[in-house]
Amino acid sequence: MLSAIARVFRTPDLRRKLLFTLGIIAIYRLGVFIPTPGVDYGNVQQCLAAGNTTGGLYQFVNLFSGGALLQVSIFALGIMPYITASIIVQLLRVVIPRFEELHKEGAAGQSTLTQYTRYLTIALGLLQATTLVSLARSGNLFQGCTLPIVPDDSLVNILLMIIVLTAGTGLIMWFGELVTERGVGNGMSMLIFVSIAAGFPSSMAAIASSQGWGVFAGVIAIGLVVVALVVFVEQSQRRVPVQYAKRMVGRRTVGGTSTYIPIKVNMAGVIPVIFASSMLALPSMLVQFNVRSDGTLPDWALWLQTHFSGSSPLYMVVYLLLVIFFTYFYVAITFNPTEVADNMKKYGGFIPGIRAGRPTAEYLQYVLSRITFPGSIYLGLIALTPLIAFVLINADQNFPFGGVSVLIMVGVGLETVKQINAQMQQRHYEGLLR
């Protein structure tokens, strides 16, 4: 392994890209600990040390920001506004025909969609920054903590905080695009990977200190099994064979080749888990906003608090069903069997034993629905891993080996290694790993 890393750094171009990526990551991690102007950083640390953290959606966003949200730093919003904007623009392709036309126009259309995503990211960043400042100002960001997070709640100071947080979102988006253009791997994915990986040492240390080294060793063993399962499933695919007929183009004969359509077991990636987590965070938000002045809750809010917590069987069942539903929903949006069948017919391609046109589309839909079911069950079980660990060993909700974290880390790690391996093969005819 060390020799493979040495070969990478002996390649000047690849070494420059890796060092540039590491430099951007270092700046990003530094910004996580720079407090937003107007925030009492000492009081924030005391609230965190006392364990006065708000769960639900805020804990979920805190995972993606690498802990910056609950630090109320300049990068508190993290990459979530960009992720949300990207998902919204992708879903709008189904609703707005113009977006679908831009998607089919190639590089020029993709550039326009990227610009729309940037504008929407800033707008969402502004909205989320306002929400975060309001929560910090009212004291609802840290439940049970009476220390003032924003001592000066004047209009000028509040506006300054909102502007700084929104600018932090824009800066993170720029960092991600720089890494994609000049570094190694997808920049946004790399920043998410770093944010999640930054929380692993503290999560494992908390398990070791509170549960003992026996449970710690058990968690490591479970983690290795989960990672191996994720790697196996993420690399699994159903290859649908495609044959292209020979045809004359001018005086040349083209076609006559055999290829395949790779349909992954998990085509939806991590998006269904994000959708389901966001949906199930809404009940906890409703509970927080309906606390009476004497600290009590209405009956309906008390029912939500009891049955929609991480340890509730109802919560786990609804979570699993939502993940399965959103998996089918997202796959139906991103993979269009009719469009694939039409493109194959246009270029003289066909699936052996299946007629071109509508029968091909129906066959692809059949294969897609069959392979999506185990993929959705797999996603649901991985998403439930932190909740099961929370019940069995009283672990934190952000149990490191499960849910969104392990899916993103394994996926980004595999993709980055593939890119480095491809660049090594271009230069030395030998990959990263022999």
Q: Residue 23: what pLDDT?
A: 92
Q: Same structural domain for residues 161 and 282?
A: no
pLDDT in tens, 371-393: 999 989 988 888 887 777 666 66
CATH number of the domain residue 32 falls in = 1.10.3370.10
Q: What is the Cβ-side half-sphere exposure of residue 123, based on CA atoms within 13 angstroms? A: 10
Q: Same structural domain for residues 216 and 285?
A: yes
Domain boundary among 155, 173, 198: 198
Determine the Cα–Cα distance for residues 373 and 324; give it in Å rounded to an integer.
8
Q: Which residue has the higher pLDDT, 215 or 167?
A: 167
Q: Same structural domain for residues 310 and 183?
A: no
Q: Same structural domain for residues 341 and 298?
A: yes
Domain boundary among 137, 172, 198: 198
Q: Same structural domain for residues 311 and 379?
A: yes
Determine the Cα–Cα distance for residues 385 and 323; give it in Å rounded to an integer.
13
Q: Same structural domain for residues 286 and 373?
A: yes
pLDDT in tens, 89-121: 888 887 888 888 887 777 788 888 889 999 999
If you compute the radius of gyration of the chain from its CA atoms, what whole number of angstroms results? Answer: 24
Strand 247-249 vs strand 252-254: parallel, antiparallel, or unpaired? antiparallel
State the average pLDDT over residues 260-264.
87
The answer on pLDDT for 53 being more than 60 is no
Helix (H, G, I), strand (E, B) or coil at 261: strand
Do residues 240 and 225 touch, judged by C-beta distance below 8 A? no
Q: Same structural domain for residues 294 and 369?
A: yes
Residues of the domain holding 15: 1-198
For helices 200-211 and 187-198, the axis angle rounded to 10 degrees is 20
Q: Same structural domain for residues 138 and 168?
A: yes
User: Residue 411 domain-assigned?
Assistant: no
Q: Same structural domain for residues 220 and 151?
A: no
What is the count of structural domains for the chain? 2
Determine the Cα–Cα distance for residues 78 and 66; give it in Å rounded to an integer.
8
Q: Residue 51: what pLDDT?
A: 58
Q: Sorting pLDDT into bands at 50, 70 and 90, what band is 250?
A: low
The answer on pLDDT for 429 being more than 60 is no
pLDDT in tens, 314-351: 888 888 898 899 899 888 888 888 888 888 888 778 88
The dihedral over CA atoms of 294, 296, 297, 303, expressed in degrees to the nearest 10, equals: 180
